[in-house]
Structure 1
Amino acid sequence: MIVPQGDYVWLDLRTGREFDVPVGAVVKVCDSGQIQVLDDEGKEHRIALQNATNIKPMHPTSIQGVEDMIRLGDLNEAGILRNLLIRYNDRVIYHTTPGHNS
């Protein structure tokens, strides 16, 4: 698997915990028989290309996030959680009901 630098991927780091879901990551380097990624939590991972079965391409809608989650190309638990993370970090999460001042 060759993944260009700068591409976004899903990194599945199943640890056996109850709430494991893949995390988003950006490819930093893909050469010398390994892929180096930086995940959404700021952690670096190096994965041997022969073991890269835990890396899947990310749909473009999951890269920047969307306002209406039904439009997510990755409409799964990981995609929904990443979309919420992006919107939270961009400070566009609604915390009140529209039309109510509180």
Structure 2
Amino acid sequence: MVILQQGDYVWLDLKTGREFDVPVGAVVKLCDSGQIQVLDDEGSEHWISPQNATNIKPMHPTSIHGVEDMIRLGDLNEAGILRNLLIRYNERVIYVRTSL
């Protein structure tokens, strides 16, 4: 079980059943009596019950603000890559590289 605090960044796996189900980034807004309120990267708020807490995973620090060279991502998976691209696009720094 992961202990979360307000301000922590997490991966939220909503399991919508769509073709491209990928966890989205979210920030913890409130932890109250087992319930966790998060705000995802798309601006939607979600309340997560203790039964669904397995849908939340902690985010690696490199995924919080993004990196220029994606090989340095601690979350080097589909969700981490897509979030890195989103962060850099929103900052108008859309060019990234993947190198060794």
* TM-score (structure 2 length as normaliser): 0.91
**Which residue of 2 is the match for residue 20 of structure 1?**
21
Cα drift, residue 50 of structure 1: 2.8
**Which residue of 2 is the match for residue 53 of structure 1?**
54
Name structure 1 gaps, 5 residues minimum: 95-102
Matches of 2:48 and 2:19 in 1, distance apart?
23
- Higher alpha-carbon deviation: 26-35 or 69-78: 26-35
What secondary structure, in the 3-state scheme, does the structure 1 residue paired with 2:81 have?
Answer: helix
User: What does residue range 1-102 of structure 1 map to in structure 2 within 5 Å?
Assistant: 1-94=2-95
What is the RMSD of the two structures over their aligned residues, measured on CA atoms? 0.8
Name structure 2 gaps, 5 residues minimum: 96-100
User: Would you say how many aligned residue pairs link Structure 1 and Structure 2?
Assistant: 94
Based on CA coordinates, which of the two structures has the bigger radius of gyration?
A: 1
Matches of 1:29 and 1:49 in 2, distance apart?
13
1:2 counterpart letter in structure 2: I
Aligned-pair identity (%): 88
What secondary structure, in the 3-state scheme, does the structure 2 residue paired with 1:91 have?
Answer: coil
Cα drift, residue 2 of structure 1: 2.6
2:48 counterpart letter in structure 1: I
1:13 counterpart letter in structure 2: L
Matches of 1:11 and 1:86 in 2, distance apart?
17
Matches of 1:80 and 1:55 in 2, distance apart?
18
* TM-score (structure 1 length as normaliser): 0.89
2:5 counterpart letter in structure 1: P
